[in-house]
Amino acid sequence: GTDIAFRTALGKVPAFAAGSEVAFEVDRIDDAFSRGWSVLAVGTARAVTEEAAVRRLTELAPTSPWAGGQRDLWIELTPSRVTGRRIVAADG
């Protein structure tokens, strides 16, 4: 879909995003070719609490949390604005 979801732990800073307008940024840099991109999504975050929705997100997640500890709280962001840019070397 169009929403962005991530896992965190209860009581950790990202958990406090629920109910607020937040920004979520993803960047990719390719040092070898001196190029990349950056995407910024802004919108309202909410905690995902319905069991079926939590199960669906967990099943769809392409990775497992690697930072250690329990990460059982899903936060979902519905973007109201998305911006981005490409990054290229000055001579490229």
Long-range pairs of 64-70 with CB within 8 A, sequence gap ≥ 24:
65/7, 69/9, 70/9
Angstrom distance (rounded) from CA 35 to CA 31: 7
pTM of the model: 0.79
Q: Model confidence at 6, in pLDDT bands (50, 70, 90)?
A: very high
* 70 has pLDDT over 90: no
Give all domains of the chain, ordered by start, each with its CATH number.
4-88 (2.30.110.10)
Instruction: Please give the pLDDT value at position 62.
Output: 82
Encode pLDDT of 37-67 as tens digits: 999 999 999 999 999 999 999 999 888 777 7
Encode pLDDT of 28-38 as tens digits: 999 888 899 99
Residue 32 identity: A
